[in-house]
Structure 1
Amino acid sequence: MTALSFVVALLAFVIGAAGGAGVLWWYAVRGRAQADTAAYDDVASRLRAAETTLAATQAERDALQDRIVDERQRAAEDRTVLQMMAPLADQLRQVRHQVTTLERDRVEQFGQLSQQLAAAAEQDAALLRTTSSLAGALRNSATRGTWGETQLRRVVEAAGMINRVDFSEQVTSGSAQTPRLRPDMVVHLPAGKSIAVDSKVPLASYLEAQSLEGADAAGDREQVQARQRDLLRAHAKALRSHVDSLAKKEYWEGLPGSPELVVCFLPAESFLAAALEADPGLLDDAFDKNVALASPSTLLSILKGLAYAWRQELLTENARALFDESRELYKRLGTLGGHINDLGKSLKTSVERYNSFIGTLESRVLPSTRRIQDLDPGLTPSAGAEAPTSVEATPRVLSAAELITAEQS
């Protein structure tokens, strides 16, 4: 091999080695560039994800701030409404208290009435049991009169009239026909009125008839029964004569505000029952002559009616107070409606001002920001920003008549 061939061969080897090294270097550079590109893409993707997350977080934060502002405004409005309704709540509590008091008094009064009627029935039964034992003592007219007055007083006291309807005994009064009258009792009625009660009734014939109850075994029963019937008819006749006497006295003429009526009190139920059995028309005839025949139970009912009249006057006063409170409550409902109406107007004004602000923002401010963006293209709006919108809702107008005052209508 010549020197030239050796040089050519060496040069070819050097060139081949250099070309191989260049190819290896090119492949190495290309792989590194691809790795750098992949790393750059990964970082860019992470950056975009972080920007998206940041925008969502900012939007959520803005929404939470808006919600907090709304809740604070709503709480302030609720406090305002509660403050305005405080007087109404006080009035309702007063009305409820008065209604509860009235109902409790009514229940107590009916319970007392039942107890007093039961007590009166027991007393009347005891009176019937002792009638026959008193027959002997009652044959004396003075004793009979005293006993009648005592029974009358007991009935009045049993009716519980001392604290409600005052009564006076042996009151002297007079009229043009009879200048000097003295009823056994004068019961004072509501509104300053009064009524006379007489307890002097003829009982001689009745007592004699009762004394024959045990005589039929010793003699002719039919004769005894006939004698009893005659005596009971005589008893009814004597009672009718007494009614005529009371009618002529006209006790009501000497009592101020008295109805044209006098009560003829019979101390036992059997006295009146026996007279009505012998003379059924006696009761109606007595009423026609302004005389009311009253046994203990009948008089008790009359006195209970008078006591009820007193209680009704008290209940009427309470009802009148309740009515006045209700009227005042109704008026205050109108005032409350006025406050609510003012609140609605204020809300409407706030909405109108908000819409005016949005209009000014869109027509005056945003065009300037757009021109600034044109001068600086690199300036971009904040991520997640939303364009404000106008509010179309308006407060509801009051329509209930109770909540509309005269000024509003």
Structure 2
Amino acid sequence: MTQVQRQVGLLERDRVEQYGQLARQLEEAREADARLLSTTHSLAGALRSTSARGQWGEVQLRRVVEAAGMLSRVDFVEQVSYTTGNDGDRARPDMVVQLPGDKQLVIDAKVPLSAFLEAQELAAAAADAAGGEAAGLEARHAELLKQHGKALRTHIDALARKKYWEGAANSPELVICFIPVESVLAEALRADPELLDYAFTRNVALASPVSLLGILKGAAFSWRQAVLTDNARELFDLSKQLYERLGTMGGHVTRLGASLKTSVERYNSFVGALESRVLPTARRIGAFDSASLDVVDAAAGGADEPQADVSLLGAARAQRAGSVPAGSGTAASAIDATPRSLTAHELLDGTDG
């Protein structure tokens, strides 16, 4: 019995300890819920401010365009200011997206959210209420959604009057109204099913994050196609230029060939004249030697009647007759279209070293 009582005491102690831990966890959860509710109310209050709502929309817009792979100041520009219309009004859209062909697309990120946020708070309260109170809250919720649709329609009219496209270069006659949350657009369309068609008639396109991402992805793809087209055009221009320059080079080669042919012909003429005209005369001069000249001088000075050396006179007669000593060269060959080879042994001996 004592053992049983001891065991029961241990169980009771564990139960009390676990109950205390559970109570602390519940208290922490309650505090976390309170902080979350406070943060939610603070966020809702901040979004009711026009400036805070605009900044939040701009942040969401930038996240979408960056998700589409676009770069700031390359593919898009934020908060650009320019003049629209003939009255000199200044326009400052939230973003201008650059499109191929020096075209631009204007995007506005401001959207009315006050009625929508109040409707969401009433929806949460109606879920916790019961009976007649819940019915009243639901009716008020439906009325707020109608006000939300009307507020968005009014915003569409305001965007249409600004005519952002008149100040942007080569912009289509259209401005995109970016709605940062899908449910904001969905609730507005549920309250006013004709809202999309009405926006189109006012040159305004309503775009949620998903639809805007699709538009920007298409623009990014168009940029890639434009780059490929530019590269193909440049390649075509370079190919055409290369073809023209090859034609010019062909003309140069033709003239070079004609010049080479003329040079070969003149070279062959030079070699022919050298071997057939110049070298025979040089050979005749080379047949004389100093010993023969000394004999002639001695004979002229020592006798009354000159006596000529028979061999010398024979050689001279042979030279005058144009005979060529054996082994002194061969006859010139006919000139052909290739450079003529040297055949004279005097010239060939000079090339051996």
TM-score w.r.t. length of structure 1: 0.45
Q: Aligned partners of 2:87, 2:107: CA distance in 1, in Å?
A: 19
Partner of 2:134: 221
Question: Could you tell me which residue of structure 2 aligns to residue 171 of structure 1?
Answer: 80
2:114 to 190, 196, 204: 204
- Per-residue displacement from partner, 1:301-321 (whole Å, max 9, x unpaired)? 111111010011123245557
> Alpha carbons of 1:142 and 1:164: their partners in 2 closer, same or farther (altered >3 Å)?
closer
**Counterpart contact for 1:264–1:293, Cα < 8 Å:** yes
Q: Percent identity at matched positions?
A: 60
1:182 aligns with 2:127: no
Q: Secondary structure at the match of 2:91?
A: coil
Instruction: Write out aligned runs for 1:262-281 (5 A).
Output: 262-281=175-194
Instruction: Please tell me whether residue 142 in structure 1 is matched to residue 55 in structure 2.
Output: no
Instruction: Measure, in 2, the Cα distance between the counterparts of 1:164 and 1:179.
Output: 24
Cα offset, 1:223, TM superposition = 1.8
What secondary structure sits across from 2:82 in the alignment?
A: coil
Instruction: Give the aligned partner of residue 64 of structure 2.
Output: 155
The structural deviation recorded for 1:163 is 7.3
Structure 2 counterpart of 1:289: 202
Partners of 1:177 and 1:249 within 8 A in 2: no
Counting only pairs closer than 5 Å after superposition, residues 338-357 of structure 1 correspond to structure 2 as: none
Give 1:143 deviation, angstroms.
Answer: 1.3
After superposition, the Cα gap between the structure-2 partners of 1:131 and 1:277, relative to the gap in structure 1 and judged at 3 Å, is farther
Aligned residue identity for 1:202 = P
Q: Could you report, residue by residue, the CA deviation over 1:102-145 in whole angstroms, capped at 9, with x for unpaired residues? A: xxxxxxxxxxxxxxxxxxxxxxxxxxxx9998434312222111
Contact 1:190 1:310 in 2 (8 A): yes
Partner SS state of residue 236, structure 1? helix
Distance 2:203 2:103 in 1: 17
2:172 & 2:72 partners in 1: Cα distance?
22
The 2-side partners of 1:191 and 1:290 are apart by: 22
Alignment correspondent of 1:363: none
Q: 1:234 aligns with which of 132, 147, 153?
A: 147
Does the aligned pair in 2 maintain the 1:202–1:239 contact within 8 Å?
Answer: yes
The CA distance in 2 between the partners of 1:188 and 1:225, in whole Å, is 45
| Contiguous gaps of at least 5 residues in structure 1 | 1-129, 329-409
Give 1:222 deviation, angstroms: 2.0
> Contact between 1:266 and 1:272, CA under 8 Å: does it hold in 2?
yes
1:243 aligns with 2:156: yes
- 3-state DSSP of counterpart to 1:258: coil
Provide, for residues 265-297 of structure 1, a one-character-per-residue CA deviation record: whole Å limited to 9, x for no partner: 111111111101111110111011110111111
Which is bigger in relative contact order (C-alpha 8 A, separation at least 6)?
A: 1
TM-score normalised per structure 2: 0.52
Partner of residue 19, structure 1? none
Compute the displacement of 1:325 (Å).
Answer: 10
Matched, 1:194 2:107: no
Mapping for residues 78-117 of structure 1, pairs under 5 Å: none
> Partners of 1:277 and 1:141 in 2: how far apart?
24
- Cα RMSD, aligned residues only: 2.9
1:165–1:307 contact (8 Å) kept in structure 2: no
Judged with a 3 Å threshold, the aligned counterparts in structure 2 of structure 1 residues 321 and 131 are, in CA distance, closer, same or farther, namely farther
Q: Deviations over 1:364-403 (max 9, x none)?
A: xxxxxxxxxxxxxxxxxxxxxxxxxxxxxxxxxxxxxxxx
Q: 4+ residue runs of structure 1 moved beyond 4 angstroms?
A: 130-133, 318-328
Secondary structure of the residue that 2:89 maps to in structure 1?
Answer: coil
